[in-house]
Structure 1
C-alpha cells in the first residue's frame, strides 16, 4: 500500500531501543480492567479479546506494536487514555478537535494486521497512561510487546538535575507531579512529525481535525472546490472556519459506500452512514467533551461513492446564510444555515452560523483520503481567491499547519490544548528551573511566542506549533470570523495573559541569567510591556481590559497586582541589561499602580482587596496571591487578607472567588490559581501560614496520587469537589499549570532560593532559610538546582533530637549566599562546600 495507518519495520532494529516507553502492567479479559499484573507476551482471542496496558505514569509518542503471530483476519481497536475509565467510553477521553496540534485528534484508532512483525502508528498520541487493545474479528493475534516511540525527552524523574527530598514522602511525590508534567509537555524541535503526506496525487490526509489554510482567514461567501479520493471510509472538510479561538466552523463529511472488504467492523455507521454527507457546526460532530459541537444533518447521496475513485466536490457559501454542496455536479443539498439552531438565543431563527473564515481538510476517526486541485472563488462574481494543486509537499504541509514542530516548545498539556499558551507558561518556567533545567526549551518557547508578535506589541495567547509564524501570524491575530471578525483576537481573548507572559520571561531571566537573550529580545519585550501600560485607564489609574482570566478585566485587583509584580521584575531585567530608562519607567509605574490599588481596592472593613470597583465586597484567590507576592500589600494587609480566605475554602482547595457557587456540583478547584495562592501563603514565613500551606499541599495535590485509575504521576488541570478530575474525561491529567508545588517546595520546603533582584539572577547570590520547612513539620530536607555559574547549588539539612540542625551547602565557588533562620545569619562565600551546625532555639 502507498499509504497506511502505520509504518512497518524490523523489530530487531527498533524495539530493542532503550528510548521506548513500555507498559508496567497488563490485564487480559473481555473488558478493560485496571487490575493489571506483570508484563509478558500476550494473545488476544475470542475468550480474552481485550488487553489493558498500564504505563505507570504519563508517556507520549507514536504507538508501536511487535506482533509475533496472526491467525485469520485480524482487526484491532486501540484506545488511549489518561484516566482508566475512558477505556470504557466509545471515544475514550477524546476527541480533541481544539487544534491540529500535530497529534491524533482521536483517542481511538483501528488497525488491520495482516502479518507478523512490528508496526508503528502514523499519528502521535500526546499523553497516555492507559491503553486498551480489543480484538474485533475472529482469529487470534499474539503480541511480543507494545509501547510508544517517544516524542518527548526520556528522563528519569528520580534523577533530574533539580531535586527535592524530605522526610515527608507525600510531599516528595507531590514535588514530582509538576516535574513530570513539565517533562512531558516540553519537547524538542522536529519531534512531532508532519501529519500529512503529499505527492503527485495530492495531500493524503488521515482522519483528524481539519488543517486550515491561513490564506482563507478573511474569505466570506465563497465557493470551495476540490478533487478528492476516498482511500478508506470517507473524507472531511470545513468551511467558514476561524483560525483563532473560538475556532468553530462548518463541518462537512463525505462517507463512501463502506465496502466490507476494506472497512473496519467497528465503523460507526449510525453517525457515518454509507453513501451520505454530514453537516455539523462547531469543533466536531460529537459533543463528547467541553468543545461545543453540533451535529446538524445527514444527507443521503443519490449514487454510490466508491473508494479509490476521484470525485469533484463544490461547496458554496452565499448571501451570508446559504450553504450548498455538489458532488460531481450533482447537488447534494442547498440549505439556509439559519434553519439550524446552534444555541445562544431562545429564537432559533436568530441563531446564525457565520459564513466567514477559512477552509481546510481532515476527516472522521479512521477515515483517510486524498485532496488536490483546490480552488476558491467569490460566489457572487466568480473572482478567483485561491488556487493550489496540493502536490508541492513542503508548501502544502507548511500552509495547512501540519508541519513538524518548528521549535522546541512547552505546551499547555501533552494530550489536549497542545498549543503554546502564553499565560500558562508562568508555572512551567519555574518548574523547569527547579527540576528538569531544560532552559533551552524554555528559551525557545519564549522566542517562539515573540516570533508571533504583531506590530501593536501583543503576543499570541496560544499559537499552534505546526504553523510558520511568518506566514500565519496576521491570519491568527485578526482572522477570526464570527463575532471576533475584524478585531485583534489576541487582545480580545485573555489579554491579561500578556502580563503572565511578561512574568514568564522575567522568571526565565531570573533563573537562567540569560542576559544575552534578554538584550536580543528587549525591543519586542519592551513593545509588549508598553502595550500593557497603555491599558491603564487614565481616569481610574487601573487596568481596563476587554477580558481576563485572573479576574475582572475592568479594574480587577488580581490583574493589577499581577502587573505590579511584572513591572518590577521587568525593571530588574532592564537594569541587568543597562536599559536604565525602561527600568526607571517600569519601577515608577509599578509604584504608582500599587498606590492606586491600595487607595481604590483595599477594603479595610473586610480586610481584603476587592474583586474590582464594581464588586467591592467580593474577593478572589488570585487577588491575595498577586497582591502579596508583588509587595502591593504590606504585612498587616497580607495577614488580614489571608485570615479572610476561609469562605473560599472548599474540600480540596480554594474556589476562585466569592462569586463562585460552592453548591454547584460542577464547581471545580484550579491547581493553577491555588498555586498562585500557595506562593503567597509560604512567603509570609509564619507558622500559621506554613500550616495552611501544608494542608493545601495535602488536600489538593494528594488526590492526584492516590487513585491508580486517575493518577498519571503528573499534576492535573482541575480537581472536582470530591478530589477527582475536574472536567471529567476532558480533564488534562498532565498539566504544568497545576505544578506549582514543584518549585515552591524547593524554595520554601527546603528553603533554597535565589536572592532578590538582579544580584540573585542565575543564583549568583542565594539564600538558604529552612524556617517554613520546619514549620511544616519537616525534620530534614534537601534540594538542588542548576545555577548559571558552572555548577549546581545544593542544600541538605537535618534536625537531630530537636536541638541541632546540621547543614551542608555545596555551590559554585563564584557564587555566594546567606544561611538564615531565626536570629542566626551566616554569610557563605569563597568556597564550594559549607558545613554548619546550628543550635535550634528552644520554645
Structure 2
C-alpha cells in the first residue's frame, strides 16, 4: 500500500514541484524544490510528499522554513536511491559501516520557528527525498535541496569525453562518468562524526564506530568504562565489533529502564536503585569475556548474558535514531587491568582513533551511499573510468597511498580502508587477509596508474611492494597452481557466496594477469623481470593443464568445483593470454560464456551448475567489466554490443524505474537491484564501460607508459561515427571518425604538450575495404593502415573509392 501511495505522490511532486534540477550559483545547492511547498497534517494522517531529483546527488541537505503553525515537532526527511526503498521506514539505511556519512536515511526535525536548516552530516547518494509531517500542524518550506560535497563539473565538460551515433553508448559513458564523480570524495569534505566540547562529546543519531587499530579488532576479552549523559533518553555502545561495525550493540533506554543487546537478542532492565536519569551523568561498565558479557550502570547490573554470535572485536559509542547523548572518560583495559585505550573525549584529536574525523586526502570509495569506504578490488575498475572521464589523478593517488599502506608483512594487502585516516607508516604484522583476489587487483591498479602517468618515481616506490605480493603468491603454489585452503583468505567480491578454496581459476587467472600487467612498472624500477615472466609462462601452462575442461569449453570454478565456471575467471584468463597460449581462441571462450551465462538482463556471474555448490544466480557489473574488457581486447564486437546493450544500457536509461544516472552494485537475473533495497545504485566497480569505450571505440591507448607513445586503434562496433577526447599528462588526444556513404573521414589531434608520438590506425572494420579505396592523410595519398602523429599535430584521414 505504501508503495502505491508513494508512486502517486511522486507524480504530484514531479509535476508540481521538482521540474528540472536547478543549481544555485553561489553555494552549489541542487534543489528538489526551489519554490514553496506546504504540508498539513491533522496528527492522524501524515502528509507525505516525494521530491524526485531526477538522478543521484549527495551532500548536506538543506531547506528553509517559511512558516510553521500548530504542532510541527514531527517532521521527517527521508532519502532513497530508489523510490521502492520507501516501503521500509528506514529506507535504504541505516548505514553503520563507516562515519563518512549520516548513519540514518531518516532525519527528524522539531520545527518551532522560521529558520534555515542545513544538516551537519552528509547524506550519500539519493534520487528521492520524502517529506513527512505527522504532527497536528502546518509547514511551508522552500529551497529544499542539497549542498554537494563532490565535484559538480557538468559531465560534458569533464577532461575526458565520448560521443557516438548510438545513444545507448553515449548514456553508458556519461553514467559511468557520473558514477566516478559521485565516488570521488574530495579531501577535508567529511565532517567530524561527533561534536566535541569541553563537557564531553555529543553524539546524535549515530551508530557506534569501532576503535580502529588492528590490535583492537582482534580483542576477545576486555573491560570497558565510560560516562554518559543522555540528552533524550537512549544511548548505545558496541562490543566485539568488526571493522564494518557489525557487533553486539547494547542500547539503554533511561526513561523506560529497558536494556537490549542486538546481535545477541538479549534484554535486561535498569533498576531504580541505579538512579539513572536523563540529563545526568552516569557510569557504564561492560565486561567482555568472549561469549560472556555483563553490563553495569552506576554499579548496578542491568544485563548479564552469554552469546555465540561474535567472538572478537573492538568497541564504540553511539546513539539510536532520534536520540543524543554526551560521552566522556572512555577507558578500556584487559581483564587484569592493563590499559588498552583511554581518552577523556573532550578534545577532537581522538576522533581519528575511531575513523570519525575528516578525510585527509582525495580518495575513491566503492559507493556514494554504501559503503563509502575504499576497496582495492573496486579501485581496479574505477581507476580506469576515472582517468577516462574526470582525470581525477589526486583521487587515484590518494586511494593507492591509503590502500597500499595496508600491506601485511607476508606481502598481501588488506582489501579495504576507511578514508578518514592517513596512510599507515609500517607494514601490518598479520598473517591473514580476506578477499585475496583484491590483493592482485591492487597490483593491476598500480600497473594501470603507471601506464597512464609514466612516473618512474612512482614505479620505484611501488615495485618492492609489488614484488613482495608476487613472491608471496609464488610461495603458495601447489602443483604449479596458486592454492589456498584457508577459507578466510578466499572470499571474493560476492561476499554472499561460498569461498573459493583450493586452486581457484579466478585467483590463478588474476595472479597471471598481475604478473603480466606489472612488468612495465617493475622494469621501470630496474627490476629484472625474467623470473616473473618465467612464472607467468609456467602458471599459464598449469592453469590450462589442470583447470581447463574440454566438455565445458571453459576454465572450471576450481579444482574442488569442476561442474561449472565463473564469468570473471574466464574473462581474466583471456586477458592474461591463457587460452591463446594453448591454441584456443579468445572468441571461442567468449562464445561459451555467451551461451552459458547470457540472459536478457546481462550475463550471470556464475554458470547455472554452480548453484548446487551454493553460488547465487546474480548479474555482476563488476565481473562483467572484465568480461567487456576481454571482448574488446579480442575484437569481438558481437559480444561487446550484447554486454553493453543488455546490462549497462538499461541502467543508463532515464526511463528505467531504478534509474539514478549511476551504475549499480549487483543485479538479479530479472534486471532488478540484486541485493534488494540495500543495493548500492552508485557503485564505481560497475563503471568499466566508460574506460573501455574511450580505449577501444575512440581507440586511444598508451603504447608506452605515460603516453610518450600512443596509439589510436578504433573498433567501430557498427557505429556511423564517434568522437571524443582522452586526457593525458601531456594534454588531450582528440579523435573524430565517421563514415559518409561508407567512406571514412577521420581527424586526430595529438597532445599539445610534451614530446609525444602517436600512431593512428585505420578503424576496424571499414565498410569499404582498404584494397578498394584510396587513403589520403592531410591531402596526400598514402599506403598502409597506420600513420604517425607528432605532439600537437592534427592529422586528417580521408578515404575515397579507388
TM-score scaled by length of structure 2? 0.87
Matched, 1:90 2:89: yes
- Structure 1: distance between partners of 2:668 and 2:800: 41
- Structure 2: distance between partners of 1:170 and 1:19: 33
Aligned match of 1:626: 572
How much does 1:468 deviate?
Answer: 4.6
Aligned match of 1:683: 633
Q: 2:37 aligns with which of 22, 42, 48?
A: 42
- Structure 2: distance between partners of 1:407 and 1:49: 42
Instruction: Summarize the alignment of residues 222-371 of structure 1 with structure 2, pairs less than 5 Å apart.
Output: 222-243=222-243, 247-257=245-255, 274-281=256-263, 295-297=265-267, 299=269, 301-302=271-272, 305-318=276-289, 320-337=290-307, 352-371=308-327
- Structure 1: distance between partners of 2:102 and 2:135: 24
Q: Aligned to 1:205, what secondary structure does the other structure show?
A: strand
Report if aligned partners of 1:77, 1:109 keep a CA contact under 8 Å in 2. yes
Q: 1:388 aligns with which of 324, 328, 343?
A: 343
Q: 2:686 aligns with which of 730, 738, 743?
A: 738
How much does 1:217 deviate?
Answer: 3.6
Q: 1:497 aligns with which of 424, 432, 438?
A: 438
Report if aligned partners of 1:499, 1:532 keep a CA contact under 8 Å in 2. no
Report if aligned partners of 1:23, 1:54 keep a CA contact under 8 Å in 2. no
Instruction: Summarize the alignment of residues 654-669 of structure 1 with structure 2, pairs less than 5 Å apart.
Output: 654-658=603-607, 659-661=609-611, 667-669=617-619
- Structure 1: distance between partners of 2:460 and 2:216: 37
- Structure 2: distance between partners of 1:153 and 1:94: 24
How much does 1:174 deviate?
Answer: 0.9
Instruction: Summarize the alignment of residues 679-828 of structure 1 with structure 2, pairs less than 5 Å apart.
Output: 679-685=629-635, 689-706=636-653, 707=655, 709-755=657-703, 759=704, 761-770=705-714, 772-773=715-716, 776-789=717-730, 791-812=731-752, 814-821=755-762, 824-828=784-788
Matched, 1:407 2:355: no
CA distance change for structure 1 residues 637 and 704 in 2, over 3 Å: closer, same or farther? same
Report if aligned partners of 2:62, 2:119 keep a CA contact under 8 Å in 1. yes
Matched, 1:458 2:412: yes
Q: Deviations over 1:439-464 (max 9, x none)?
A: 11101110111223233333220111
Aligned match of 1:188: 186
Report if aligned partners of 1:240, 1:357 keep a CA contact under 8 Å in 2. yes
How much does 1:661 deviate?
Answer: 3.6
CA distance change for structure 1 residues 769 and 830 in 2, over 3 Å: closer, same or farther? closer
CA distance change for structure 1 residues 253 and 667 in 2, over 3 Å: closer, same or farther? same
CA distance change for structure 1 residues 197 and 723 in 2, over 3 Å: closer, same or farther? same
Q: How many equivalent pairs are there? A: 740
- Structure 2: distance between partners of 1:807 and 1:736: 32
How much does 1:700 deviate?
Answer: 0.7
Report if aligned partners of 1:277, 1:301 keep a CA contact under 8 Å in 2. no
Report if aligned partners of 1:20, 1:147 keep a CA contact under 8 Å in 2. no
Report if aligned partners of 1:19, 1:154 keep a CA contact under 8 Å in 2. no
Instruction: Summarize the alignment of residues 554-703 of structure 1 with structure 2, pairs less than 5 Å apart.
Output: 554-577=502-525, 579-581=526-528, 583-634=529-580, 636-645=584-593, 646-658=595-607, 659-661=609-611, 667-685=617-635, 689-703=636-650
Aligned match of 2:777: none
Matched, 1:135 2:144: no
How much does 1:254 deviate?
Answer: 1.1
Report if aligned partners of 2:329, 2:342 keep a CA contact under 8 Å in 1. yes
Q: Aligned to 1:572, what secondary structure does the other structure show?
A: helix
Q: Aligned to 1:362, what secondary structure does the other structure show?
A: strand
- Structure 2: distance between partners of 1:543 and 1:336: 38
Report if aligned partners of 1:204, 1:371 keep a CA contact under 8 Å in 2. yes
- Structure 2: distance between partners of 1:833 and 1:599: 49
CA distance change for structure 1 residues 769 and 297 in 2, over 3 Å: closer, same or farther? same
Q: 2:28 aligns with which of 20, 34, 44?
A: 20
Report if aligned partners of 1:276, 1:301 keep a CA contact under 8 Å in 2. no
Report if aligned partners of 1:178, 1:715 keep a CA contact under 8 Å in 2. yes
CA distance change for structure 1 residues 471 and 222 in 2, over 3 Å: closer, same or farther? farther
TM-score scaled by length of structure 1? 0.83
- Structure 1: distance between partners of 2:71 and 2:322: 18
Report if aligned partners of 1:828, 1:834 keep a CA contact under 8 Å in 2. no
- Structure 1: distance between partners of 2:35 and 2:90: 27
How much does 1:230 deviate?
Answer: 0.6
Aligned match of 2:496: none
CA distance change for structure 1 residues 434 and 321 in 2, over 3 Å: closer, same or farther? closer
Q: Aligned to 2:294, what secondary structure does the other structure show?
A: strand
- Structure 2: distance between partners of 1:637 and 1:297: 62
Matched, 1:431 2:385: yes
Report if aligned partners of 2:750, 2:790 keep a CA contact under 8 Å in 1. no
Report if aligned partners of 1:802, 1:840 keep a CA contact under 8 Å in 2. no
- Structure 1: distance between partners of 2:426 and 2:146: 32
- Structure 2: distance between partners of 1:221 and 1:664: 34
- Structure 1: distance between partners of 2:523 and 2:616: 46
Q: Aligned to 1:232, what secondary structure does the other structure show?
A: coil
Q: 2:461 aligns with which of 517, 520, 532?
A: 520
- Structure 2: distance between partners of 1:526 and 1:157: 38
Report if aligned partners of 1:21, 1:59 keep a CA contact under 8 Å in 2. no
- Structure 2: distance between partners of 1:664 and 1:322: 33
Report if aligned partners of 1:544, 1:555 keep a CA contact under 8 Å in 2. yes
- Structure 2: distance between partners of 1:408 and 1:831: 31
Matched, 1:64 2:35: no
